[in-house]
């Protein structure tokens, strides 16, 4: 992997940004921020400053909302097919462009972290870190050490990683309520849609918690989609049709890792997935050997479960 701990200009992902990005691109706009004319055009169309244009581009690329290609050192973008389903384009309205359905936020979370090409603070946390209760300063030290082992490129300086961790925590964590403070919710509490998932809780004093859980509010169709995406990657070279339960629970980029599922939570989700797919996804626990099977009939069908969720 390459290290990528910058690009967002410290701006957490905000509501409306991904829809704005897809709409701007679908209408013929560009995110070639090295081109002054294109940048000025984006500033006007998106209604934000230059730094936010850079941040919108970063989050759109990182969440795979944009497909990116490079030719003659010129970066061009197109809206990915899966992003078109949710946010639409110039011909389709999209299933949930304003993120009114929680399933869309779970999807964005999965897209952000299901990436084996570059390492960020949030990808490190959701795919490699085993902490459930942590102090930010200690997490920074661990992240710096592990980045040196996980990345092929030269590691960024400590200050850059610290800024990325700050941005990651501001993107995901619910703020601690100070003793005696008003329970009133302000705009900053929901600046990022990913806060709604409740995956990380700020405890105060630089401490955070992120327990493994059942994730009852994770829609089953989004879970099935993630299992199919992961199984396509995991089983592609082996030709097998099954994998260990523990692989689905703890291996980097697995649904268990990305969604912070407990062992019981993954078992419950697989039971529900088995019922929903009429056994095309199934799992058995025999003599302590737990295997998850994904039938070939589901190959290439991941996005149909996204559509099914919204059209049910």
Q: How far apart are CA 165 and CA 170, in angstroms?
A: 8
Ranking 43-47, 76-80, 174-178, 293-297 by mean pLDDT, the lowest is 174-178
Q: Give the pLDDT band (50/70/90) at residue 185.
A: very low
pLDDT digits (tens, 9 = 90+) for 268-291: 999 999 999 999 999 998 777 899
Q: Are 109 and 226 in contact (CB under 8 A)?
A: no
Q: What is the pLDDT of residues 208-266, one digit of tens each?
A: 999 999 999 999 999 999 999 999 998 877 777 789 999 999 999 999 999 999 999 99
The answer on pLDDT for 186 being more than 50 is no
Tens of pLDDT, residue by residue over 7-60, are 999 999 999 999 999 988 888 887 776 666 666 777 777 878 888 888 999 999
For the residues 73-98, what does the mean pLDDT come to? 88
Domain boundaries, the chain: 17-90, 118-209, 220-311
Q: Print the SS3 string covering 23-73.
A: HHHHCCCCCCCCCHHHHHHHHHHHCCCHHHHHHHHHHHHHCCCEEEEEECC
pLDDT of residue 187: 44
Q: In whole angstroms, give the CA distance from residue 19 to residue 214.
A: 30
Extract the tokens encoding 33. 């921020």
Query: Is 48:56 a contact under the CB 8 Å cutoff?
Result: yes
Asked if domains 17-90 and 220-311 share a fold, the reply is yes
270: three-class secondary structure by DSSP: helix
Q: Which fold has domain 17-90?
A: Arc Repressor Mutant, subunit A (1.10.10)
Write the CB contacts of 202 (distance below 8 Å, at least 6 apart in sequence).
Answer: 169, 173, 174, 175, 176, 208
Strand 242-244 to 281-286 pairing = unpaired
CA gap 58, 31 in Å, rounded:
10
Mean pLDDT of the residues in the chain: 89
Of the listed ranges 113-117, 180-184, 299-303, the one predicted with least confidence: 180-184
Residue count (the chain)? 312
Q: State the residue for tokens 């509010």.
A: 217
pLDDT score of 183 more than 70: no
Give yes or no for residue 114 having a pLDDT over 80.
yes
Tens-digit pLDDT profile for residues 125-135: 999 999 999 99
Candidates 178, 179, 177, 173; CA nearest to 201 is 173
Q: How far is CA 60 from CA 20, 54, 79, in A?
A: 10, 10, 9
Q: Which CATH number fits domain 220-311: 1.10.10, 1.10.3210, 3.90.1070, 1.10.287?
A: 1.10.10
Under the banding of pLDDT at 50, 70 and 90, the label for residue 65 is: very high
- pLDDT-above-90 percentage for the chain: 69
Residue 76 — very low, low, confident or very high, per pLDDT cuts 50/70/90? confident
- Residue 52 to residue 35: CA distance in whole angstroms: 16
Contact criterion met (CB below 8 Å) for 298 and 281: yes
Tokens of 97: 């462009």
The H or E element that residue 274 is part of is: helix 263-276
At 150-167, the pLDDT tens digits run: 997 777 899 999 999 999
Nearest of 12, 8, 45 to residue 27 by alpha carbon: 45
Give the 3-state DSSP-derived string for 178-231, with helices as H, strands as E and coil as C.
CCCCCCCCCHHHHCCHHHHHCCEEEEECCEEECCCECCCCCCHHHHHHHHHHHH
pLDDT at site 246: 96
Query: How many Å apart are CA 68 and CA 299, to the nearest integer?
Result: 25
């Amino acid at each position: 992997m390459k290290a990528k701990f910058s690009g967002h200009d410290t701006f957490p992902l905000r509501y409306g940004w991904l829809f704005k990005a897809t709409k701007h691109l679908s209408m013929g706009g560009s995110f070639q921020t090295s081109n002054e004319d294109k940048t000025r055009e984006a500033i006007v169309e998106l209604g934000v400053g230059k730094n936010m244009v850079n941040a919108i581009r970063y989050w759109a690329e990182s969440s795979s909302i944009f497909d990116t290609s490079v030719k003659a050192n010129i970066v061009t973008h197109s809206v990915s097919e899966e992003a078109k389903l949710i946010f639409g384009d110039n011909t389709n309205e999209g299933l949930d462009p304003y993120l009114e359905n929680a399933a869309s936020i779970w999807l964005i979370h999965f897209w952000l972290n299901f990436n084996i090409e570059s390492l960020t603070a949030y990808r490190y946390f959701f795919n490699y870190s085993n902490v459930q209760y942590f102090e930010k300063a200690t997490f920074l030290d661990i992240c710096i050490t592990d980045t040196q082992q996980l990345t092929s490129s030269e590691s960024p300086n400590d200050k850059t990683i610290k800024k990325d961790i700050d941005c990651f925590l501001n993107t995901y964590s619910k703020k601690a309520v100070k003793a005696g403070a008003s329970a009133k919710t302000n705009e900053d509490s929901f600046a990022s849609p990913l806060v709604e998932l409740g995956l990380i809780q700020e405890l105060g004093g630089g401490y955070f918690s992120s327990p493994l859980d059942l994730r009852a509010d994770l829609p089953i169709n989004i879970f099935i989609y993630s299992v199919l995406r992961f199984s396509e990657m995991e089983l592609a070279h082996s030709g097998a049709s099954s994998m260990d339960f523990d692989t689905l629970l703890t291996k980097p980029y697995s649904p268990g890792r990305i969604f912070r599922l407990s062992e019981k939570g993954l078992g419950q989700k697989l039971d529900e997935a088995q019922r929903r797919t009429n056994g095309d996804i199934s799992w058995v626990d025999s003599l302590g050997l737990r295997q998850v099977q994904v039938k070939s009939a589901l190959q290439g069908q991941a996005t149909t479960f996204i559509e099914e969720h919204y059209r049910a």
